[in-house]
Amino acid sequence: MNKVRAKEIIEEMYDYWKANHMTFQEMKALELAKEALEKQTGKDVIPSSGDDFYYICPTCGENELEQGCEDYCPKCGQKLKY
C-alpha cells in the first residue's frame, strides 16, 4: 500500500465513523494516523533569505537546516525534500 492509498483509507474511515457517531478516542486515533502519514510525506524545505544561507522546515519553521544532512526535521519530525 502506498501513502496516497493509506491516506484515502484513513479519510474514508474518518467519514464513515463521523457519520456513525464514532467515539472521541476513535476520532483522535484517526487524526493521529493522518498526522503521522503526513510527516512521512516529504515536503520541500524553504530557502532562507539573507547573507547566511540555510534551509527552513516548512512545517514548524525550524531553521539552520543544512542541505542533505537531515532527512527529517530534528524539531518536529517532518520528512524533508531538498
DSSP 45: P
Categorize the per-residue pLDDT at 57 as very low, low, confident or very high, splitting at 50, 70 and 90. Answer: very high
pLDDT, tens only, 19-47: 888 788 888 888 899 899 989 999 999 99
- Tell whether 21 and 2 lie within a shared domain: yes
Residues 49 and 66 in one domain: yes
Residues 26 and 53 in one domain: no
Considering the domain architecture, whether residues 37 and 58 belong to the same structural domain is answered as no
For residue 67, is pLDDT > 80?
A: no
Give CA–CA dist 67/38, Å, rounded: 21
Full-model pTM:
0.65
With cell 537546516, the residue in question is: 65
Strands 46-47 and 55-56: antiparallel
Q: Which residue range is the domain that position 6 belongs to? A: 1-41
Report whether pLDDT(14) > 90: no
